[in-house]
Amino acid sequence: MSNFKFDAFLSDVAAKQAKPFSGYPVHHFVGGNIDEPTVPAGKLAEAVGKVIREQGTTMGKYGMDSGPQGYLPLRETICDILKRRADMNVQPDEVLMTSGSLQAMDLINKALLNKGDVVLVEAANYAGTLTKLDALGVDYVGIDLDEDGMRMDALEAAILNLHKQGRKPKYIYTIPTIQNPTGSVMPVERRKEMLTLSKKYDIPIFEDDCYADLVFSDTRPPAIYALDTDNRVVYCGTFSKTIAPALRVGYIVAPWPLMGHILPLKTDAGSGALEQMVLAEFLPDNFDAHVSSLLPMLKEKANALCEALDEHFGTDVEYETPVGGIYLWVTLPEHVDTDRLFEVAIAEGVEINQGSQWAVDKQANKRRMRICFGHPSSENIRTGIARLADICFKEFGVPARGGNVER
């Protein structure tokens, strides 16, 4: 008996085929995974028991008693957190709970974009952002970054260049606090400059703030949303990098009537109720202390990564010392192709993100790689980078042998 084959029936978007998951490699430096022991499992378990006993029956209705925007106590808690940590004045009816920030991005894109539109993004960028824009048939222009994030002179030049072509961007997408993958933090004055350009050229801003709580100093600039006086910013956040990625709890903050246009696009009958209820129970008394406990641990891992790169790659790598987050953007000599390095390294148990997947100009970034230090232990980081250096030397002659040179 032969198996039926779906090949002739697949849609165009289903042409790509994934491989079955075969487990993580020994040295796993990709993805937004976090350090598993930091997940507050005990307190989350207590919260689960309490909300199930006291409010479990409310899950008999879609949206419980809170409506389609998500569990009201959690939305109220998010408003409190954003006020305290990001200087944002937000009302619960301006918050929509989503299944992670990726769904938030999908909904914002559906609300604002049509095929053939153009948007402005940071030149080095989250791969998921670029993949989603490609799938929608949307053009994007990469704006150069420096140590303070997206450059405003480059942003204005891109806007004017598009204007000459008769095109107007549909939004400016930015990750201003712990930019992914570069790790930069945009200063307040530059945030205000972006808002000035947004107003001057009448372009909304999509602010992705997924890593903002992970600044090692435990202080961060106000969100661009907080500085906005014209309701021209739409904002998304998540608990994936602070509590647990697998919870899949994110949110959109948007003013009405934009929220009213986004809400009908969320056709999943609501994100999972239990995780929302649990977070609403856990967050008020625990969130700030939990985040503060993460920061020294992440800083220690970042230091371990930088020390390992210095020891094993020496001056053959360039990077900015992280001020927060879980990623490091590393530049290698020009002849190194990290697409190839990815292939040979994963075969030997080391996985990296190749730079071509995290930038608008793929060819120009083939010498770069993104290394995630959020999940592996400091010891795993050290041994993994040593292994990566051996692999890179065999393939590209980098790092140069004969003694490492201190940075």
**Residue 240 and residue 243: Cα distance in Å, rounded?**
6
Domain boundaries, the chain: 22-39+289-396, 41-286
Q: Is the peptide bond before 257 cis (omega within 30 degrees of 0)?
A: yes
- Long-range interactions of 288-296: CB distance < 8 A, separation 24+: 288/84, 288/85, 290/40, 290/242, 290/243, 291/213, 291/214, 291/218, 291/242, 292/218, 293/38, 294/38, 294/214, 294/242, 295/214, 295/215, 295/216, 295/217, 295/218, 295/324, 296/216
Selection from 175, 174, 239, 230 nearest residue 202 by Cα: 230
pLDDT at position 11: 86
Question: How far are the Cα atoms of 175, 210, 253, 297 from residue 233, in angstroms, in the given order?
Answer: 13, 15, 9, 33
Architecture of domain 22-39+289-396: Alpha-Beta Complex (3.90)
Write the DSSP assignment of 136-164 as a string of letters: HT-EEEEEPEETTEE-HHHHHHHHHHHHH
At which residue do the structure tokens 């944002």 appear?
A: 88
Closest C-alpha among 95, 62, 99, 100 to residue 80? 95
List the helix and strand counts (H, then E) for the chain. Answer: 11, 14
CATH architecture classification, 41-286: 3-Layer(aba) Sandwich (3.40)
Residue-wise pLDDT tens digits, 307-332 = 999 999 999 999 999 999 999 999 99
In tens, the pLDDT along 26-71 reads 999 998 899 999 999 999 999 999 999 999 999 999 988 899 999 9
Residues of the chain under the 70 pLDDT cut: 1, 402-407
